[in-house]
């Protein structure tokens, strides 16, 4: 079989799916991409048995064929070719030869019938959501997911669905990120699912800021997302997410208002001399002023002072500066609002005059 395509048309879907391919896999075939050719359409599928991504592109060919090729090698060859270069792929029984210009590259194949497929059970809930809304929820919260925590349900993102509202929540036990969005949907959906960390990252890469709608299908153990040119399937984490509402600071809070960029720059400079392991920074609040201080075992010390809108009692709180910078990196607006209780209580960070995205950061002892 002979397949002709433009380099750019083949490279884009390969770049989309290659993140799903595991670098260290137990099954050699999981390093490959499944390619199915039919009616001048090339479908590409990648999976690691937890996450599966399918996409397609148009090519010029006669007949039908199924085969698998090494995903990263094929992508690297296409990436190294000149823009808009013509590509010819000649497929034989056990190998494929890619030709472009005077270049010739022969790749080994594995049988398509051995390629695994994720087939979720029939969907129990289905809803539609603008692609840009889902991307925003992921972008605003994914940084707070845990990494390889023994509490496996923290190594992912909670999606909570209610009629006309969707909420994303992530926490690693030291900080929490929550973002709400509303959408037009007539269904009476009321459910919670936990997406694995890798699925969240890959879905965030796949989605864009467009207003086009994606269809989400939830079964008892999987989530499938149908997009214009691709479909994404992931297993769900089977566990109970913590009651995040209890983490939200309650009680008598005092509000500090600050210019977001001013605070971010001061924190970035002070962080340079913080302890590399614990990243601790001391917040000292007084009327109209925020004093920042950091030091490390090498006896280096950094101090910054910025003007803020604060009229409460003097207070000193320790924070992990990396957590604060992560929040400021995703927060919208020019002003940041920080609700504080005392030196031993978590603080709530939001954009001024908006509670759509809320961030909780626990204090640390310094």
> Is the domain of 176 the same as that of 74?
no
In this structure, what DSSP letter does residue 24 have?
Answer: S
> Is the domain of 140 the same as that of 219?
yes
> Is the domain of 238 the same as that of 269?
no
> Is the domain of 261 the same as that of 299?
yes
Residue 225 lies in a domain: yes
> Is the domain of 185 the same as that of 275?
no
**Domain extent at residue 356:** 248-361
CB under 8 Å, gap of 24 or more: what pairs does 79-86 form?
A: 79/11, 79/15, 81/7, 82/7, 83/7, 83/8, 84/6, 84/7, 84/8, 85/6, 85/7, 86/4, 86/5, 86/6, 86/7
- Span 66-93, pLDDT tens digits: 999 999 999 999 999 999 999 999 999 8
Question: Contact 68/34 with Cβ under 8 angstroms?
Answer: yes
> Is the domain of 108 the same as that of 175?
no
Residue 120 lies in a domain: no
Dist CA 156 CA 200 (whole Å): 7
Q: Count the residues in the chain.
A: 366
> Is the domain of 93 the same as that of 185?
no
- pLDDT averaged over the chain? 94
> Is the domain of 221 the same as that of 195?
yes
Output the pLDDT for position 186: 74
- Among residues 114, 144, 175, the one where a domain terminates is 114
Residue 366 lies in a domain: no
CATH code of the domain covering residue 23: 3.10.150.10
- Span 240-250, pLDDT tens digits: 999 999 989 88
- Among residues 58, 80, 114, the one where a domain terminates is 114
- Span 173-230, pLDDT tens digits: 999 999 999 988 777 889 999 999 999 999 999 999 989 999 999 999 999 999 998 9
Task: Please give the order of strands across the beta sheet that includes 95-100.
Answer: 60-61, 2-6, 86-91, 95-100, 103-108
- Among residues 227, 244, 261, the one where a domain terminates is 244
> Is the domain of 228 the same as that of 173?
yes
Residue 104 confidence class, pLDDT cut points 50, 70, 90:
very high
Tell me the two tokens of residue 326. 């992560």
- Which of 15-24, 256-265, 272-281 is least confident? 15-24
Output the pLDDT for position 366: 81
Residue 175 lies in a domain: yes
pLDDT over 80 at 25, yes or no? no
> Is the domain of 220 the same as that of 263?
no
- Span 314-345, pLDDT tens digits: 999 999 999 999 999 999 999 999 999 999 99
Output the pLDDT for position 187: 76
Domains in the chain: how many in total? 3
């Amino acid at each position: 079989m002979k397949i002709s395509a433009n380099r750019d048309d083949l490279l884009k879907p390969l770049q989309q799916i290659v993140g799903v391919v595991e670098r260290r896999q137990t099954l050699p075939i999981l390093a490959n991409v499944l390619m199915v050719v039919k009616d001048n359409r090339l479908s590409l599928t990648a999976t690691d048995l937890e996450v599966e991504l399918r996409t397609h592109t148009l090519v010029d060919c006669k007949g039908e064929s199924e085969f698998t090729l090494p995903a990263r090698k094929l992508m690297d060859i296409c990436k190294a070719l000149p823009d808009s270069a013509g590509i010819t792929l000649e497929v034989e029984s056990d190998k494929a030869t890619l030709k472009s210009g005077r270049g010739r590259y022969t790749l080994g194949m594995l049988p398509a019938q051995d390629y695994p497929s994720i087939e979720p059970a029939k969907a129990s809930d289905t809803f539609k959501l603008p692609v840009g809304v889902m991307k925003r929820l992921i972008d605003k919260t994914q940084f707070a997911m845990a990494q390889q925590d023994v509490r496996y349900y923290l190594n992912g993102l909670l999606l909570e669905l209610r009629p006309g509202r969707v909420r994303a929540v992530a926490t690693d036990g030291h900080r929490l990120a929550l973002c709400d969005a509303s959408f037009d949907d007539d269904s009476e959906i009321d459910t919670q699912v936990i997406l694995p960390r890798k699925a969240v990252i890959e879905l965030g890469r796949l989605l864009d800021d467009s207003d086009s709608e994606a269809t989400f299908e939830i079964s008892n153990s999987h989530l499938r997302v149908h997009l214009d040119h691709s479909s994404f399937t992931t297993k769900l984490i089977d566990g109970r997410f913590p009651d995040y509402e209890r983490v939200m600071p309650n009680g008598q809070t005092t509000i500090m208002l600050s210019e977001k960029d001013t605070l971010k720059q001061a924190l970035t400079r002070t962080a340079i001399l913080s302890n590399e392991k614990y990243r601790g920074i001391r917040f000292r609040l007084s009327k109209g002023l925020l004093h920042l201080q950091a030091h490390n075992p090498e006896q280096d010390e950094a101090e910054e002072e910025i003007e803020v809108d604060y009229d409460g009692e003097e207070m000193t709180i320790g924070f992990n500066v990396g957590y604060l910078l992560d929040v400021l990196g995703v927060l919208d607006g020019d002003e940041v609002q920080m609700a504080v209780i005392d030196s031993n209580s978590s603080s709530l960070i939001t954009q001024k005059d908006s509670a759509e995205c809320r961030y909780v950061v626990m204090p640390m002892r310094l």
